[in-house]
């Protein structure tokens, strides 16, 4: 790891000030991606501003079917929230399968979304749930938030404070893990609204990051059943080929994971 300067913020305001004073700073939430990346000397922020102890970034609020999850809420807290489980168990299930228990104790929803790793789980859910990403400056629709591999709409120094969404009528997440890293090789979050509107968020498979799949959405809007997926073509040309899987295989996995998510929802 290269030299860096650590700062611990007690409030959002203090965090913004600390970041403003840094030459090339980075916010540090759970650090479960950032610290290993820095260990490998693949990132070299001059300063780290630790958000983990800011009280206003924490907590899960459920009001009817509307949900607000503070950005510094850990995966473990999301996975085990009984209030959340009562109306949106799919997000608990997703959180409970991110990384391993020790990672879930540190990693946060805000950190995951801000990093936008192309194989991270939360971004697929944010798209499918039509979530709003709340920052210290504004609110951003998920569809506009995730802009590319590790790229988001966040501006310099902007902090995610929470995510908001309405619990759908039905939803589920299924992923096929990479056998080595256990990140999603293809992960699909399906969500259906009472009005029949369906969104399908896909992670791990896209060559330019998380995406929605219109063909699957159309098929499932017309017929919400696992069988509806069978005849949908998933175009492999937009998908990733790497050491672990070809685009053609990922296309198959996207279809199969969608089918299984619908069955599980």
Partner 1 sequence: MAKITMTVNGRQVSGVCEDRTLLVHFIRENLGLTGTHVGCDTSQCGACVVHMDGQSVKSCSILAAQAAGSSVITIEGLAQNGELHPVQAAFKAHHGLQCGFCTPGMVMTAVDMIQRHGSALDEATVRAELEGNICRCTGYHNIVKAILAAAHEMGGARQAAE
Partner 2 sequence: MGVDGIGARVARKEDRRFLTGKGRYTDDMSVPGMKYAVFVRSPHAHATIAGIDATAARAMPGVIDVLDGRQLLADGIGNLICGWMIHSKDGSPMKMGAWRPLADKTVRYVGDAVAIVVADSVAEARDAAEAVVVDYDPLPAVTDPVQALADGQPQLHPEASNNLVFDWELGDGAAVDRALAAAAHVTELKIFNNRLSPNPMEPRATLGIYDAGDEHYTCYTTSQNPHLARLVMSAFYNVAPENKLRVIAPDVGGGFGSKIYIYPEEIVCLWASKRTGVPVKWTSDRTEAFLTDAHGRDHVSTVKMAFDAGNRITALKVDTIANLGAYMSLFSSCVPTYLYATLLSGQYDIPAIHANVRTVYTNTVPVDAYRGAGRPEATYLLERTMETAARELGLSPAELRRTNFIRSFPHQTPVIMNYDAGDYEASLNAAMAAADWNGFAARKAEAEGRGMKRGIGMSCYIEACGLAPSAAVGSLGAGVGLWESAEVKVNMVGTIEVMTGSHSHGQGHETTFAQLVADRLGLPIDSINIVHGDTDKVQMGMGTYGSRSGAVGMSAVAKALDKVEAKAKKIAAHLMEADESDIVIEDGVLKVAGTDKSVPWFQMALAAYTAHNLPPGLEPGLKESAFYDPANFTFPAGCYICEVEVDPETGRTKVVQFVAADDFGNIINPMIVEGQVHGGIAQGIGQALLEGVRYDDSGQLLTASYLDYAMPRADDLPSFVVSTSNTPCPNNPLGVKGCGEAGAIGSPPALINAITDAIGNNQLTMPATAEKVWAAAQAAN
Q: Which residues contact 75 (CB under 8 A, 6 or more apart)?
A: 95, 96, 98, 99, 103, 104, 105, 107, 108, 109, 112
User: Which residue's CB is nearer to partner 1, number 92 or number 167?
Assistant: 92
Residues 63-82, interacting with partner 1 (CB under 8 A): 76
Q: How far is the CB of 108 from partner 1 (least distance, A)?
A: 13
Q: Tell me the window of 49-57, 77-85, 131-139, 176-184 that interacts with partner 2 (CB under 8 A).
A: 176-184
What does DSSP say about strands 132-135 and 170-177: parallel, antiparallel, or unpaired?
Answer: unpaired
Contacting residues for 81 by C-beta, under 8 A, at least 6 apart: 60, 92
Alpha-carbon distance 78 to 110, whole Å? Answer: 12
Inter-residue contact 206 to 242 (CB < 8 Å): no
* Least Cβ distance, residue 164 to partner 2 (angstroms): 32
Tell whether residue 130 is a contact of partner 1 (CB under 8 A). no
List 105, 244, 263, 264, residue binding partner 2 (CB under 8 A) = 244
Contacting residue, 212, 249, 263, 264, with partner 2 by CB under 8 A:
249
Q: In the window 5-34, what residues touch partner 1 (CB under 8 A)?
A: 5-6, 8, 28, 31-32
Q: How far is the CB of 29 from partner 1 (least distance, A)?
A: 10
# of chain residues touching partner 2 (CB under 8 A) = 18
Site for partner 1 in 229-258 (CB under 8 A): none
C-beta separation of 56 from 10 below 8 A? no
Nearest distance, CB of residue 44 and partner 1, angstroms: 10
Residue 40 Cβ vs partner 2, minimum distance, rounded to whole Å:
8
Q: x/- binding map, residues 59-98, to partner 2, per CB under 8 A?
A: ----------------------------------------
What are the beta bridge partners of residue 48?
Answer: 6, 26
The binding site for partner 1 (CB under 8 A) comprises 1-6, 8, 28, 31-32, 35-36, 38-40, 48, 50, 52, 76, 99-103, 105-106, 181-182
The binding site for partner 2 (CB under 8 A) comprises 1-2, 40-41, 176, 178-181, 183, 243-246, 249, 252-253, 256
């Amino acid at each position: 790891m290269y030299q860096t300067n650590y700062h611990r913020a007690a409030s959002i305001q203090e965090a913004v000030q600390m970041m403003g004073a840094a030459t090339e700073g980075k916010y540090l939430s759970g650090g479960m991606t950032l610290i290993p990346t820095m260990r490998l000397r693949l990132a070299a922020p001059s300063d780290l501003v630790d958000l983990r102890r800011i009280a206003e970034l924490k907590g899960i609020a459920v009001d009817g079917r509307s949900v607000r999850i503070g950005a510094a809420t850990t995966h473990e807290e999301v996975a085990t929230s009984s209030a959340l489980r009562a109306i949106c168990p799919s997000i608990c299930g997703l959180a409970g399968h991110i990384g391993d228990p020790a990672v879930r104790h540190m990693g946060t929803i805000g950190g995951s979304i801000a990093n936008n790793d192309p194989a991270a789980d939360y971004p697929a859910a944010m798209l499918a749930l039509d979530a709003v990403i709340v920052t210290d400056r504004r609110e951003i629709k998920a569809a506009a938030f995730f802009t590319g591999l590790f790229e988001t709409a966040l501006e310099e120094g902007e902090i995610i404070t929470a995510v908001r969404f309405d619990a759908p009528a039905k939803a589920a997440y299924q992923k096929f893990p990479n056998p080595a890293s256990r990140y999603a090789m293809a992960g699909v979050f399906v969500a259906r609204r009472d009005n029949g509107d369906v969104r399908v968020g896909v992670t791990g498979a896209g060559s330019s990051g998380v995406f929605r799949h219109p063909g699957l959405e159309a098929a499932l809007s017309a017929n919400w059943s696992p069988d509806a997926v069978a005849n949908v073509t998933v175009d492999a040309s937009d998908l990733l080929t790497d050491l672990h899987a070809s685009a053609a295989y990922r296309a198959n996995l996207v279809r199969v994971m969608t089918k299984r998510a619908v069955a599980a929802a």
